[in-house]
Amino acid sequence: MSGRDTDASVDEDHPLSAGESLALIERQQAAAQRRLGVNPALFYGPWGVAYLLGFGSIFLTYPTAVPVRLPGQVAVVITGVLFAVATVIFVVTGTRVGRGLRGPSRGAGAMYGWSWTLGFCALAAVNIGVTRLGLPDDAVTLLWSGSSLLLVGVLYLAAGALFQDWFQYGLGMWMLVSGACSVFADVPGNFAVVSLAGGGGLLLAAAYFALRPPCRRLRHERDRVHV
């Protein structure tokens, strides 16, 4: 096979020095990770906005020290729209990231994605079931906000363990603490906690990933090849 002739026709094949080779490896590795992965800011940002503004708007429907009052229906619409948008972005981003790939990582990613759906379906079933017994309104409110944040926290812990990502694990712990605190803040303080601590935490996480240099983004210990 006259491989040399074929090589000569490829303009990229001028001989590289060792330094050029290492630089090329680093560039290519960063580019591949950036294009194959997804910036976690895309996952955290929309949820952070939904938590901050959605639960923030619900907080403002109560008479509080804040001199702004929102009608209940407005808050429900704001929260519903923001959560729907965040869900769509989450599903679309999660689906696109696995495009053209198959193998163990894809399977693990799909299972993790489904654990959000399954978890929240089960949470809704449990909460509705308990509410049926006739809980006071405030208890129902606290049950939903507290249990939702608890589940979010646990799922971030799972992601941290799955992807060997301490940052995500730490975010999970923060969400667990926020969820527990929200219940003790009573109504409507729970909405302030979920909005500011939960949403604020997610937005800080999004900002961290958005502002991180691209080459460091998504650099998990996925293989043994290190540059």
For 130-162, give one letter per residue: b (16+ CB within 10 A) or e: eeeeeeeeeebbbbbbbbbbbbbbbbbbbbbeb
225 binds another protein (CB under 8 A): yes
Binding span for another protein by CB under 8 A among 33-41, 60-68, 185-193, 208-216: 33-41
Nearest to 181 by CA among 162, 201, 197, 160: 197
Output phi, psi for 12, to 5 deg.
-80, -10
Q: Nearest approach, Cβ of 24 to another protein (angstroms)?
A: 6
10 binds another protein (CB under 8 A): yes
**Residue 3 touching another protein (CB under 8 A):** yes
Residue 224 found at the interface with another protein (CB under 8 A):
yes
Near another protein by CB under 8 A: residue from 2, 5, 12, 132: 12
Q: Is 82 left (phi over 0), alpha (psi -120 to 50) or beta?
A: alpha
The mark string for 92-111 relative to another protein (x by CB under 8 A, - otherwise) is: -------xxxxxxxx-----
Picking from 148, 149, 174, 146, the residue whose alpha carbon sits closest to that of residue 160 is 174
Residues of the shown chain interacting with another protein in the complex, contacts defined by CB under 8 A = 3, 6-7, 10, 12-16, 18-19, 21-22, 24-25, 28-29, 31-33, 35-36, 99-106, 222-227
